[in-house]
Structure 1
Amino acid sequence: MSRDASVPAREDFAGVVARLAAAQKRRAPGSPAYSIYVNRPVGRRFAAAAYLAGLTPNAVTAISAAFTFAAIAVIALVPPTPLVGVGIGLLLMTGYALDAADGQLARLRGGGSPAGEWLDHVVDAAKLSTLHLAVLVGWFRFVDLPSPALLLVPLGFAIVAAVLFFAMILNDFLRRRDGGTRARTEGGGIRSLLVLPTDYGVLCIAFLAFGAPIVFVPLYGLLFAANAAYAVLALPKWFREMTRIAP
Structure 2
Amino acid sequence: MSHNTLIHRGVRVLVRPLVRTSIKPNQITTLRLAAGFGTAAALAVGEPLWWNIGAGLFVLSAILDRADGELARLSGRTSPGGHVYDLVSDALSNALVFVGLGIGLRDSVLGHWSIPMGVAAGGAIALILWAVMAIEARQGSRAAELQGSGGFDPDDAILAVPVFIWFGAMQELLIAAAIGAPGFAIYFLIRFRRILLGRRDAPE
Q: Which residue of 1 aligns with 2:47?
A: 80
- Shift of the alpha carbon at 1:157? 0.6
Pick the aligned partner of 1:134 from 94, 100, 105: 100
Verify: 1:226 aligned to 2:180, yes or no. yes
- Deviation string for 1:113-138 (max 9, x for gaps)? 33323332332232133222222322
- Shift of the alpha carbon at 1:208? 4.0
- Shift of the alpha carbon at 1:172? 1.8
- Shift of the alpha carbon at 1:187? 5.5
- Deviation string for 1:173-232 (max 9, x for gaps)? 21129xx9xx57986538x87x84xx3x4334323443665x221123113322222222
Verify: 1:158 aligned to 2:158, yes or no. no
Aligned mates of 1:206, 1:44 — CA distance in 2: 23
- Deviation string for 1:127-180 (max 9, x for gaps)? 13322222232223xx32244333321011122111111001211221129xx9
Higher relative contact order (CA 8 A, sep 6+): 1
Query: Aligned residue pairs: how many?
Result: 200
Q: Which residue of 1 aligns with 2:38?
A: 70
Aligned mates of 2:158, 2:69 — CA distance in 1: 21
Over aligned residue pairs, what C-alpha RMSD do you find? 3.1
Aligned mates of 2:133, 2:4 — CA distance in 1: 18
Contact between 2:44 and 2:100, CA under 8 Å: does it hold in 1? yes
Question: Unaligned stretches of 5+ in structure 1?
Answer: 1-26, 29-34
- Deviation string for 1:40-63 (max 9, x for gaps)? 123313321432543111221122
Tell me: CA distance 1:185–1:171, structure 2 relative to 1, closer, same or farther (3 Å).
Answer: closer
TM-score normalized by structure 2? 0.79
Tell me: CA distance 1:38–1:94, structure 2 relative to 1, closer, same or farther (3 Å).
Answer: farther
Aligned mates of 1:156, 1:149 — CA distance in 2: 11
Tell me: CA distance 1:187–1:59, structure 2 relative to 1, closer, same or farther (3 Å).
Answer: closer
Q: Which residue of 2 aligns with 1:210?
A: 165
- Shift of the alpha carbon at 1:112? 1.6
1:145 aligned partner, one-letter code: V
1:236-247 matches, cutoff 5 A? 236-242=190-196, 243-245=198-200
1:73 aligned partner, one-letter code: A
TM-score normalized by structure 1? 0.67
1:174 aligned partner, one-letter code: R
Identity %: 19
List structure 1 segments (4+ residues) > 4 angstroms apart after TM superposition.
183-188
Aligned mates of 1:75, 1:239 — CA distance in 2: 34
Aligned mates of 1:167, 1:93 — CA distance in 2: 25
Question: Unaligned stretches of 5+ in structure 2?
Answer: none
1:189 aligned partner, one-letter code: S
